[in-house]
Amino acid sequence: MGQLFPFRAFRYSSGQVRNIADVVTQPYDKITPEMKARYLERHPFNIVRVIKNPDYQEASGFLNRWIDESVLEKDPLPGIYPYEQVFEFEGQQQRRLGFIALVSLQDPSLAIKGHEHILRGPLEDRLRLIRQSQSNEGLIFTLYSDPNLIVDQILADTVGSCPPVVAVEDEYGVKHRLWSITDTTIQAAIRSPMVDLPIYIADGHHRFETSMLFCKECQDNGWRPAALESFDKRMIALFNMRAPGLRILPTHRGIRNLSQFDRPTFLSRLGRFFNVRPVESWPALKVAMDQGSRRIGLLSADSPNFLLLELREEAMNDLSFLPGLKSPARELDVNLLHEGILRPYLGIGAEELASQKYVDYFRDPEELLNGIRASRCQLGFILAPTTLEQVRLVSEKGEKMPQKSTDFYPKLLTGLVIMKMEIDKG
């Protein structure tokens, strides 16, 4: 995967911030306007003033002022930061333990694999911010595969023997705890097994690509790193996909702004590759989807019926279905929807998706159902979650999934640790 490094993170001063929950946030791309307003009201030092500020120069000013005024303090020693999340999922308590470190962006052996397409708008937004702030506030959520759980055991032993440096509960009831490992022997024991392992991006594709682009810009400008924490590194969080606690939620689609849409014609065309059958209720649709793979739920604003779309077996052998897609991407429900339904039958391809005019995304299917009933969406598609193994296989093959194919839960907090770059521009 390339070299990992401990680093001296900036963290909120306990002397100036009494409750860390007041200043940290969900990842920038999960922050709605309503959430942003709440974060702004919560505390004058909330990190949202940096990560969701349309005035990038002002955002940088906030960060630099907080550093100058010791609102943010730099840890005295380089650390690797174990990061634990404890949360409820489907009625059961879950625990996830990983760690935060820097990864070298210039290492020839760098092997960080993404699985989602990059959109130009979010990429340009993050690039403008990093040019001004020259920092990493948000974590890139990455996965590695180690069935022997070597690093997991080291982390567990370490966190069990000392108190955390940060403990906070977020607005969703998720408990987050952070430690700092400054012992160089333990750091080496964590770094060594990771060297030959590929890393997969779970969340943060745009932030990682932004860091790669900014690194190249700095090199092209003739700039040089002035410290370990600089443009040639990226702050990431790493979790073992073979360990417990990794959960992926589905992201459902609501379709709008379809002109001259005719439901009977649409359903008739779907019948070429899908068995289309009505189900009597919303609970019955959820039960039917759980009874097999390659199933998609369909809701319509102009009909009270719930429909189950089940892919015909012969469709996977038909070269005209999902043209250009090979296994494993061909088996993904999200590709069945995007390439098997949205593009050919509704005219929603990559350009239309990028315009953000036709598709809304919903974590909560009840929210999508309400949107259908209120006619804010003409159609709704209910998806099953992508699996961890599918993410790994697609990433290994260099294939890409559509945007919002995976929703890893819970999210990693932004503002727990910050990496401020030191750059020699002489």
Q: Residue 409 phi/psi, 5° resolution?
A: -130, 140
Residues of the chain falling short of pLDDT 70: 1-2, 108-109
Gyration radius of the chain over CA positions? 23
Which H or E run includes 382? strand 379-382
d(CA 386, CA 17) in angstroms, rounded, equals: 39
Q: Kind of pairing, strands 166-169 and 72-74?
A: unpaired
- Would you state the pLDDT for residue 120? 81
DSSP string, 79-131: BBEEEEEEEEETTEEEEEEEEEEEEESS-TT--EE--BPPPHHHHHHHHHHHH
State the pTM of this model. 0.89
Domain boundaries, the chain: 4-247+409-424, 251-384
Angle separating helix axes 120-133 and 205-220, nearest 10 degrees: 50
- Would you state the pLDDT for residue 109? 67
Tell me which residue of 351, 359, 355 sits closest to 377, measured CA to CA.
359
d(CA 403, CA 337) in angstroms, rounded, equals: 12
- Would you state the pLDDT for residue 1? 60
Q: Residue 93 phi/psi, 5° resolution?
A: -80, 130
- Would you state the pLDDT for residue 329? 84
Tell me which residue of 249, 261, 250, 271 sits closest to 348, measured CA to CA.
261
Evaluate whether 135 touches 114 at the Cβ level (below 8 Å). no
% of the chain beyond a pLDDT of 90: 77
From first CA to last CA, the distance across the chain in angstroms is 31
Domain at 251-384, CATH class? alpha beta
